[in-house]
Amino acid sequence: MESEYNNFAQPVQKRSTGWKIFFGIVLFFSILANLVMVVILVGTVAVFTAGTTEGLIEETIVSGPGANKIAVIRLEGIINRETADEIIGHIKSAQKDKNVKAIIIRIFSPGGSVFASDRIYNQIMDFRQQTNKPVVAFMEGLAASGGYYTSVACDKIIAEPTTITGSIGVIMGHFVLRGLLEEKLGIQPVVIKSGLKKDWPSSFSDVTDEQKEYLQTKLIGPAYERFIQLVADGREELTLEQVRPLADGSIYNADEALANKLIDDIGYFDAAVELAKTLAGIEKVRVVEYKKPFSLATWLDAKAAILPRLDRTGLYELTTPQLMYIWSVEY
């Protein structure tokens, strides 16, 4: 009986193994087919986006005649070098498109670095001067510090009812690692410099009152004065003397900002579109938003950017003080 049972079980085991091989082959070709589809999709996107404005996709938000377009450019998150490069590229694309009659800068940002905010401000001003076309700032919930700095370059400013704006001021901070290095790790930093102020402020020593006064005079003060001057220049309703008391770093809700003449109106995106149409002197428009086409390289770069860099450049950025137009000390 035992011999007969073994003879009967053996073919069953072979059939089971055969099915496993079959399903393995099917799974392999299924994965392969999906990879091929991804490649085809990326290629299709590349083909259909070829010839668009500077490699950008124009996503239609409001349908209308292509001869009259309003370009929407999003300014989101912390304003840094990469953000500035992207926004400047979008503005230049709009400037080259003769069908673009106005721009809406759609802002949701707490601000960022001084130089990046200033570059975006300068590009908006250049667009206005070169094209004589209007630019409307639409504050979508948050446009503080550097976000407000870029807004005052626009012809008009509209904020949503729940917007937080203001925070006109400058902040700078850095890490002091002396205690960690010396007391915890037993590392003694050695700094050799050509002059007393060469490394002010240093992550390897405590900041003195003399250093704070020096940095206030050399960095904070000039950046702050530029900020309030540009607000006064951009807001015709306000003088420099009226801006200064508002520029103590305070934040303002939409109603407060309107009362203090920091913005022109309160409304939603549709109101920004209507205002842009009025300023441009057109009735029927197509509203488009610039977006980057999907690419595997961009996706991989974005994923890589999430990981902290531990090379010399990353260490330098971590320990070097940064001058910021930002509503937060957590940057």
Q: Does the annotation count 198 as an active-site position?
A: yes
Mean pLDDT over the full length of the chain = 82
* 36 vs 291, more confident: 291
Which of 117, 145, 202, 203 is catalytic? The answer is 145
Output the pLDDT for position 311: 55
- The token pair that represents 134 in the structure block: 């209007």
CA pair distance 66, 308, nearest whole angstrom: 44
Task: Look up the pTM and report it.
Answer: 0.77
- The token pair that represents 78 in the structure block: 């912390």
Q: How many CB atoms within 10 Å of residue 274? A: 13
CA pair distance 206, 118, nearest whole angstrom: 31
Confidence of residue 56 (pLDDT cuts 50, 70, 90): confident
Mean pLDDT in residue range 81-102: 96
Q: Lowest-confidence range among 102-106, 185-189, 246-250, 251-255?
A: 185-189
Confidence of residue 4 (pLDDT cuts 50, 70, 90): very low
Which of 96, 198, 218, 292 is catalytic? The answer is 198
Q: Does the annotation count 113 as an active-site position?
A: no
CA pair distance 155, 279, nearest whole angstrom: 9
What is residue 83's DSSP assignment? H
Output the pLDDT for position 47: 40
**What pLDDT digit, counting tens, does each position of 163-202 carry?**
999 999 999 876 666 666 566 666 676 777 788 877 777 7
Structural domains for the chain: 56-326 (3.90.226.10)
- Is pLDDT of 160 > 50? yes
User: Would you say 249 and 168 are in contact if contact means Cβ atoms under 8 Å apart?
Assistant: yes
CA pair distance 72, 102, nearest whole angstrom: 9
SS3 for 175-193 is: CCCHHHHHHHCCCCCCCCC
CA pair distance 297, 278, nearest whole angstrom: 41
Residue 189: is the preceding peptide bond cis (ω within 30°)?
Answer: no
User: Would you say 170 and 223 are in contact if contact means Cβ atoms under 8 Å apart?
Assistant: yes
- The token pair that represents 308 in the structure block: 């902290």
Range with top average pLDDT, 38-42, 113-117, 181-185: 113-117
